[in-house]
């Protein structure tokens, strides 16, 4: 049996689907109710990663676990507590959803240091471990859903700065492979999309998928900062602005790891937009 935490999220949802489709027995964990996010036949368990004891019954008899890092800046995850409870239940394989920022922004309190300590705990767990370090997610573009639906407008800073956003469904497929197959122990996979896309190009891709043009409005850094501070802690905002505004060469590099694991190239942003267009209609 495989336990998936963050099961109703952007990665957890396609991961649970991939595992269930492959015939695996899955327990899907999230704090809230599943709300239809979990496929029929999959057990959903309500628990908080900040309270590892609440996960004890889930791990009983489980073989593998997919752990998410609690989110940038959240520091909610007590990795040691969760790993102890998982090991006590018999789990011998762990796949961690970490972040590229652990490598590229090591001095950032939100993206680097917290993530590094979780990775260290996984490495020292004594279990077979695999660490996934994705760059920015294509699903971050859901932030435009309301203004595209109501005004056919998308606003973002740094309109012509490209990043190789990754489709979270590809992260889910890589995670499913690492959870099910041998040969991934001790690997750190850096996960990106197949090409750079700029915010302006992403707005165009959503427009193409809709069949209607989207007006792109370039925000200043300060406008974007003020907007992001409404729903993100300040350290997360500052590091996020640095990544999207002044990405390092490592953050713009196209990683071969999705193709190495899946034997196919990762999905493009345009493909993600077509598959998720209902959110923008
Ligand atoms: N977005 C990016 O660009 C990006 C880039 C690199 C890495 N990452 C990492 O990827 C992960 C997912 O990112 P996302 O932005 O796409 O978020 P998301 O899909 O909203 O995922 C969050 C998921 O985790 C669950 N969750 C959150 N806190 C929890 C807790 N304390 N206990 C149990 N479950 C909890 C949420 O469900 P409930 O609310 O129901 O619990 C939800 O299913 C994050 O850990 C993030 O650090 C994201």
Residues 6+ apart with CB under 8 A from 269: 138, 165, 167, 193, 195, 197, 201, 202, 205
Mean pLDDT on 196-212: 98
Residue 75 scores a pLDDT above 60: no
Per-residue confidence band for 71, with pLDDT thresholds at 50, 70 and 90 = low
Q: Which of 3, 4, 9, 114 to mutate to test the pocket of ligand 1 (most atoms within 8 A of CB)?
A: 9
Cβ–ligand 1 contact at 69 (below 6 Å): yes
- Residue closest via CA to ligand 1's atom 18 equals 9
Tokens (6 digits) for 210: 């809709």
Neighbours of 228 (CB within 10 A): 18
Pick the more confident residue, 106 or 210: 210
In three-state secondary structure terms, 217 is strand
Cβ–ligand 1 contact at 194 (below 6 Å): no
Query: What was the pLDDT predicted at 246?
Result: 98
Instruction: Give the nearest ligand 1 atom to 74 CA.
Output: 28
User: What distances in angstroms separate CA 244 from CA 16, 132, 197, 206, one per listed residue?
Assistant: 30, 20, 11, 19
Query: What was the pLDDT predicted at 77?
Result: 62
pLDDT digits (tens, 9 = 90+) for 7-29: 999 999 999 999 999 999 999 99
Cβ–ligand 1 contact at 71 (below 6 Å): yes
- Residue closest via CA to ligand 1's atom 39 equals 31
Per-residue confidence band for 90, with pLDDT thresholds at 50, 70 and 90 = very high
Average pLDDT, the chain: 94
Give distance in angstroms: CA of 75 to centre of ligand 1.
12
Pick the more confident residue, 233 or 158: 158
Residue 113 scores a pLDDT above 90: no
Instruction: Give the nearest ligand 1 atom to 31 CA.
Output: 41
Residue 145 scores a pLDDT above 70: yes
Cβ–ligand 1 contact at 238 (below 6 Å): no
pLDDT digits (tens, 9 = 90+) for 208-244: 999 999 999 999 999 999 999 999 999 899 999 999 9
Cβ–ligand 1 contact at 8 (below 6 Å): yes
Query: What was the pLDDT predicted at 154?
Result: 98
Give distance in angstroms: CA of 9 to centre of ligand 1.
6
């Amino acid at each position: 049996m495989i336990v998936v935490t963050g099961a109703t999220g952007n990665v957890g949802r396609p991961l649970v689907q991939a595992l269930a489709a492959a015939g695996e027995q899955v327990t899907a964990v999230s704090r809230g109710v599943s709300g239809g996010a979990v496929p029929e036949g999959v057990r959903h368990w309500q628990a908080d990663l900040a309270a590892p004891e609440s996960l004890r019954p889930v791990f009983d008899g489980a073989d593998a676990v997919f752990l998410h890092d609690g989110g940038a800046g959240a520091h909610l995850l007590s990795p040691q507590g969760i790993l102890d409870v998982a090991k006590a239940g018999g789990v011998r394989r762990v796949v961690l959803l970490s972040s590229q920022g652990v490598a590229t922004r090591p001095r950032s309190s939100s993206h680097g240091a917290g993530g590094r300590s979780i990775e260290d705990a996984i490495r020292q767990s004594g279990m077979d471990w695999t660490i996934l370090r994705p760059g920015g997610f294509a699903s971050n573009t859901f932030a435009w859903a309301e203004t595209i639906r109501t005004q056919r407008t998308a606003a973002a800073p740094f309109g012509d700065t490209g990043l190789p956003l990754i489709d979270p469904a590809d992260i889910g497929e890589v995670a499913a492979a690492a959870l099910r197959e041998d040969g991934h122990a001790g690997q750190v996979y850096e996960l990106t999309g197949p090409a750079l896309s700029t915010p302006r190009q992403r707005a165009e891709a959503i427009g193409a998928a809709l069949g209607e043009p989207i007006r792109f409005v370039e925000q200043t850094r300060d406008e974007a900062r003020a907007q992001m501070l409404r729903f993100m802690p300040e350290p997360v905002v500052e590091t996020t602005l640095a990544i999207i505004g002044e990405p390092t060469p490592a953050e713009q590099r196209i990683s071969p790891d999705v193709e190495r694991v899946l034997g196919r190239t990762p999905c493009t942003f345009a493909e993600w937009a077509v598959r998720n267009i209902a959110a923008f209609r």
